[in-house]
Structure 1
Amino acid sequence: MQVLIIEDDAVMAAHVADLLAGRGAVCETVADGRAGLARAAAHPFDLIVTDRMLPGLEGLDVVERLRALEVETPVLVLSALGQATDRVEGLERGADDYLAKPFADDELLARVGALLRRARKEPHPEVLVIGSIEIRVKARTVHRAGRHVALSPKEFELLRCLAEHAGQFVPRSLLLERVWNLRFDPQTNVVDVHVSRLRGKIDEGFEAPAILTARGEGYQLVADPT
């Protein structure tokens, strides 16, 4: 995986590069928008991560010009401009995803993984098995230790998203995006309420909880609850 990082903050650029290198990426960093545009147009990267406020050329201008050149490389924008209007603008101008600074490292890695899966158009498995939990995606059925668990559509999508990231804490923001199609936090407890209901159904009759919570990090579906 080859990644271009366009970021004029050397500390931030190094941090992102280190995170992605830990997942096997080869990262190249440039600190100027115009230089980033030229490099992205000349080389087939698998992913571009760019800041918005850059010297030379603003990050969203870089994205727009790449799209005008028919460069379809997935672009993740990282920016301190994190209001809903800023995110909407970024997506409307050609970015594939938008993450506000400061961000959680796990969320950055989860979003990068999702972008790369969409770009590769990898087929989703028809059956997800996490410990004693079996999820049949097409049939939209769930069993735990052979017992059928009746879930609402939102509860099913919530469990499916957690299962696709099993063993990792999934941030609330990613759950809002995947399950409710919200790219901003509406400042409600909708995620927490649905997780509570899902837990009540998944854990009924079992001593060990299947879903763990970490304050400030999100929720995790564990493969072997203990």
Structure 2
Amino acid sequence: MSPEIINEYSRSLNVPVYDVGPTNTLKFGSALRLVQETSEQHLNVMHAGYETMKKTAGLVFFIISTRVHIFHFPGNGEPITIKTHPRGRGGAQLYRDFKFYDAKGDLLLDVMQTTVLADAVTHKVQRPQALKQFGFYPEDIVEPENRMERFSVPDGLPLLGVRRVFYSDLDANGHMNNSVYGDIVWDFLPPDVRRKAHTIQINYLREVNEGKDLEISGEKIGGKFFLRGDCDGSVRFTASAKS
């Protein structure tokens, strides 16, 4: 497989009307869905898409964390280009960048995402070397200072509400799709934080299944607003928003 195919994938589209919200701009959760779709398109070009990996090797990718730098959300029908490229690896985590550009080439959204390779049945994390059977392997090491920020959200934050997981929230793995967490984070951020947020990070800690209730708590600590979702006594996700 040529390095050009592996190194970068680009796609262009017009922001669909069903992906914009009350401000007539791309919704945060919809941006994460475009990220997921773009990644899958690139992997399909590399003959390592979801169905292929699961069927031939019993492997899937699980998203661990997503960080979005927000410069400007594109509007309804606006032409955008999304470019993605694998950045490298840090331990078992694989880093990938996504950059959203407008028609003039100005950067709209800068997304970094980490994933792990896992057994499709047991969900046990696998070594990145397993990707070699598909003709590629992330040789580059992401330096510690360039990796995803680590943070924890303390217990005892004010309860903001409860979000039940419905059937329509589920993905092909049978648990809530990662992009839905983007909708939840956006819904539960206070309006003033939502309007001014320029960096949002979501950490996906444990899966959530249909019929479960996520207890969403959050509070501003220092210069960031922190959120966490608890279910059945364990933390399922944490998030931070910096304005």
Q: What band does the TM-score fall into relative to the shorter chain?
A: under 0.3
**Structure 1 length normalisation: TM-score?**
0.25
Indicate the structure with greater helix content.
Answer: 1
Indicate the structure with greater strand content.
Answer: 2
Kindly indicate whether structure 1 or structure 2 has the higher relative contact order, using CA contacts under 8 Å at least 6 residues apart.
2
